[in-house]
C-alpha cells in the first residue's frame, strides 16, 4: 500500500494546471517499439484500466494495431485523445497531408487529436517553414484538432512559432527523465505556453535502479516508476509511459495521485547527468 496523504491537494493542483495550461492530457500510454499483438494488447489493457490518451507515430509501424485495439475496446472515440507523428520521409508539402490521411485510415478515425512533427531532421532537404505550413494545413482541413512538434530545440521551436503563430503549437514532445532534465528548454516552452510532453521518463528503465529514487519511493510506499512519473507531472509535464504488462500500466497511472514534497523534488533535481538515450544522427537538432 502507498501512503496517500496529500492526495487531494495534489489532484486539485493537477486538474487546475491541466485546465489552465493546455488541452493536452497529462497522462497517456505510449506505443513505441510495440507492434502487432503486443501493441494491441497494450492499448487494450491501457484503455481497460483507465487511460484515455494514446500516443503513436507513423514510424512505429503500429497505427493499424492501435486503430484495431481502439475499435475493439468499446470506448467511444469522442472519449479518447489520439496522437500521431509525421515521419521525416513525409515532411514535404506534397507528402505530409496525404501521409496523415493514410494514418487516419489505419487508426480507423476521421481525425486525430494531435499531430506532431516527429523530428526536425535538419538538412534533409525540407525546410522548416514548408513542413510547418503543411502541418497547419492539416489542421485547417480538420484532419487533426491540434498540432505540435517533437524533439525541437529552442531555436527550432521559435522558428515553428514564427510560421504557424503564437498559441498554435500545443506541445513539444521531448526526452526527459530524472537523468535528463532539460531545464533550459522546458523553461522556454512553459514561458511560451507550450505544454512539455516527456517521453522516456524512465530512461529505458535505468532510473528504476536509482538509489535516491528508491529512497523516495520507500518513503511514500510507492514504486520508483511512480516517483519518476510524479516528478514530471508535478513539474507540469505530460507523460506517456508504455508497458506490455497490465499491472505496470495500472501501477503507472497511480503516479497521478502521488504528491512529492519539496525535499523529494530537490533530491531528484540533483540526479541530472545529461543522460540522453535517444539522439539519432541526421534527425536530432543541436540540443540546448
For the question of residue 199 being annotated catalytic, the response is no
| Residue 201 domain-assigned (yes or no) | yes
Q: Which domain holds residue 100?
A: 7-269
The x, y and z cell numbers of residue 173, run together, are 514532445
Per-residue pLDDT of the chain (288 residues; tens, 9 = 90+): 344 333 333 333 344 333 333 589 999 999 999 999 999 999 999 999 999 999 999 999 999 999 999 999 999 999 999 999 999 999 999 999 999 999 999 999 999 999 999 999 998 999 999 999 999 999 999 999 999 999 999 999 999 999 999 999 999 999 999 999 999 999 999 999 999 999 999 999 999 999 999 999 999 999 999 999 999 999 999 999 999 999 999 999 999 999 999 999 999 999 999 999 999 999 999 999
Domain CATH code at residue 54: 3.20.20.100
| Residue 199 domain-assigned (yes or no) | yes
| Residue 280 domain-assigned (yes or no) | no
Is residue 219 within 8 Å of 208, Cβ to Cβ? Answer: no
| Residue 279 domain-assigned (yes or no) | no
| Residue 234 domain-assigned (yes or no) | yes
| Residue 225 domain-assigned (yes or no) | yes
| Residue 183 domain-assigned (yes or no) | yes
Which is catalytic among the residues 60, 131, 179, 237?
Answer: 60
Between the two ends of the chain, the Cα-to-Cα distance in Å is: 40
| Beta bridge partner(s), residue 81 | 53
Number of domains in the chain: 1
| Residue 142 domain-assigned (yes or no) | yes
Binding site residue list for substrate: 118
- Residue 41 region by backbone torsions, left for phi larger than 0, else alpha for psi between -120 and 50, else beta: alpha
Please name the residue that has the C-alpha cell 476521421.
110
SS3 52: coil
C-alpha dihedral, 21 to 260 to 227 to 190, nearest 10°: 20
Nearest to 198 by CA among 215, 181, 184, 223: 181
Q: What is the pLDDT of residue 15?
A: 40
Amino acid at each position: 500500500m502507498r501512503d496517500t496523504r496529500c492526495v487531494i491537494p495534489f489532484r486539485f493542483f493537477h486538474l487546475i494546471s491541466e485546465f489552465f495550461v493546455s488541452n493536452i492530457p497529462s497522462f497517456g500510454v505510449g506505443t513505441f517499439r510495440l507492434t502487432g499483438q503486443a501493441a494491441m494488447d497494450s492499448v487494450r489493457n491501457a484503455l481497460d484500466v483507465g487511460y484515455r490518451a494514446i500516443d503513436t507515430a507513423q514510424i512505429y509501424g503500429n497505427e493499424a494495431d492501435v486503430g484495431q485495439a481502439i475499435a475493439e475496446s468499446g470506448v467511444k472515440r469522442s472519449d479518447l485523445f489520439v496522437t500521431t507523428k509525421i515521419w521525416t520521409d513525409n515532411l514535404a508539402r506534397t507528402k505530409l497531408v496525404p501521409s496523415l490521411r493514410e494514418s487516419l485510415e489505419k487508426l480507423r478515425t476521421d481525425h486525430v487529436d494531435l499531430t506532431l512533427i516527429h523530428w526536425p531532421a535538419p538538412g534533409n532537404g525540407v525546410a522548416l517553414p514548408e513542413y510547418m505550413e503543411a502541418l497547419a494545413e492539416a489542421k485547417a482541413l480538420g484532419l487533426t484538432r491540434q498540432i505540435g512538434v517533437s524533439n525541437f530545440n529552442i531555436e527550432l521551436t521559435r522558428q515553428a512559432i514564427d510560421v504557424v503563430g503564437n498559441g498554435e503549437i500545443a506541445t513539444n514532445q521531448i526526452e526527459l527523465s530524472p537523468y535528463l532534465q532539460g531545464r533550459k528548454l522546458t523553461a522556454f516552452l512553459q514561458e511560451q505556453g507550450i505544454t512539455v510532453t516527456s517521453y522516456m521518463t524512465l530512461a529505458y528503465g535505468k532510473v528504476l535502479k536509482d538509489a535516491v529514487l528508491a529512497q523516495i519511493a520507500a518513503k511514500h510506499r510507492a514504486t520508483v516508476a511512480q516517483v519518476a512519473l510524479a516528478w514530471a507531472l508535478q513539474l507540469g509535464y505530460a507523460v506517456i509511459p508504455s508497458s506490455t504488462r497490465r499491472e505496470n500500466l495500472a501501477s503507472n497511472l497511480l503516479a497521478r495521485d502521488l504528491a512529492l514534497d519539496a525535499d523529494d523534488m530537490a533530491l531528484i533535481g540533483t540526479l541530472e547527468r545529461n543522460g540522453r538515450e535517444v539522439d539519432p544522427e541526421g534527425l536530432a537538432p543541436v540540443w540546448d
